[in-house]
């Protein structure tokens, strides 16, 4: 009887709140005129998807950035991209400062996804029922089918992915000593190591089931890949 009650409770929770799915936001930081945006201060995502915290996006390659998170399927959430990590230089809500760095500064004239938008100026997402990647371009409402990455993005491969924690990494263009960081969804580095090998195996079975970012840096640049541990 207790097992049946537990099963019913789990089913009700999933029905009421939605199952958790992994969502990747991949941004092409080039405006509609074809000009790269100024990312010297970084690129951040903010909105309902981050509980209104400024979350940094990882650079995948030239002008391509990514943010991974877990969301509840069925939720309708706002988000947009910005080039600073606070409301103003002092952390206060200063619209004149803030609008210089965010998408759609003229919110009165921009509505993305108007069929279910709660207010103007933000992007809106109905979280799907399965893991997905959202491809977008800076200042453009329409979703993209993909984001072209430079050859940097092919610098290393991960397999299997998703993984049970045992991960094989094959490097294609690592030069000299490479630093490897495993980063969780909060931005915390949970494991770091170095290697000069072209092929290596990582045992990450001690980590919780979640989405992680594998960041590799060497003297040619910084490269990232998303890893799912199940």
Per-residue pLDDT tens digits for 137-183: 898 877 776 555 443 344 678 889 889 999 998 876 555 677 889 99
Scanning the chain, the segments in alpha helix (DSSP H) are 2-17, 95-98
Do residues 12 and 4 touch, judged by C-beta distance below 8 A?
no
Mean pLDDT of 49-78: 89
Residue 17 has pLDDT above 80, yes or no: no
Do residues 167 and 202 touch, judged by C-beta distance below 8 A?
yes
Q: Read off the tokens for 63.
A: 């002008």
Confidence of residue 56 (pLDDT cuts 50, 70, 90): very high
Do residues 136 and 144 touch, judged by C-beta distance below 8 A?
yes
The radius of gyration computed from the CA coordinates of the chain, to the nearest angstrom, equals: 19
Query: What is the Cα–Cα distance from 141 to 175, expressed in whole angstroms?
Result: 39
Mean pLDDT of 206-216: 88
The pLDDT assigned to 153 comes to: 41
Q: Which domains does the chain have, with CATH numbers?
A: 17-144 (2.60.40.10), 155-229 (2.60.40.10)
Q: Is 19 exposed, middle or buried (0-12, 13-18, 19+ CB in 10 A)?
A: middle
pLDDT tens-place string over residues 110-125: 556 555 555 566 788 8
Query: What is the Cα–Cα distance from 69 to 20, expressed in whole angstroms?
Result: 10
Query: What is the Cα–Cα distance from 145 to 219, expressed in whole angstroms?
Result: 32
Mean pLDDT of 49-54: 92
Query: What is the Cα–Cα distance from 84 to 216, expressed in whole angstroms?
Result: 24
Helix (H, G, I), strand (E, B) or coil at 94: coil
Task: Say if strands 20-28 and 132-137 run parallel, antiparallel, or are unpaired.
Answer: parallel
Residue 100 has pLDDT above 90, yes or no: no
Confidence of residue 217 (pLDDT cuts 50, 70, 90): confident
The pLDDT assigned to 23 comes to: 92
Q: Is 180 exposed, middle or buried (0-12, 13-18, 19+ CB in 10 A)?
A: buried
Q: How many residues does the chain have?
A: 230
User: pLDDT > 70: what percent of the chain?
Assistant: 73
The pLDDT assigned to 198 comes to: 80
* Higher local confidence (pLDDT), 228 or 33: 228
Confidence of residue 106 (pLDDT cuts 50, 70, 90): low
Q: Read off the tokens for 99.
A: 């609008």
Residue 206 has pLDDT above 60, yes or no: yes
């Amino acid at each position: 009887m207790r097992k049946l009650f537990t099963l019913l409770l789990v089913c009700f929770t999933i029905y009421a709140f939605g199952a958790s799915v992994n969502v990747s936001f991949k941004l092409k930081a080039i405006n509609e005129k074809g000009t790269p945006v100024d990312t010297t201060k970084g690129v951040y995502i903010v909105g309902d998807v981050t509980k209104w915290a400024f979350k940094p996006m990882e650079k995948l390659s030239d002008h391509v950035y990514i943010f991974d998170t877990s969301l509840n399927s069925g939720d309708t959430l706002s988000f947009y991209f910005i080039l600073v990590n606070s409301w103003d230089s002092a952390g206060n809500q200063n619209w004149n400062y803030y609008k210089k760095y965010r998408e759609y500064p003229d919110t009165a004239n921009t509505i993305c996804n108007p069929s279910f938008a709660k207010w103007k100026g933000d992007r809106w997402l109905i979280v799907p029922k399965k893991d997905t990647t959202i491809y977008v371009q800076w200042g453009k409402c329409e979703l993209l089918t993909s984001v072209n990455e430079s050859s940097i993005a092919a610098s290393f491969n991960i397999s299997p992915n998703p993984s049970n924690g045992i991960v094989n990494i094959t490097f294609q263009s690592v030069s000299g000593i490479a630093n490897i960081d495993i980063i969780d969804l909060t931005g915390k580095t949970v494991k770091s190591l170095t290697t000069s090998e072209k092929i290596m195996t990582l045992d990450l079975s001690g980590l919780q089931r979640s989405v992680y970012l594998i960041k590799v840096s060497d003297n040619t640049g910084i490269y990232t890949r998303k890893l799912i541990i199940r």
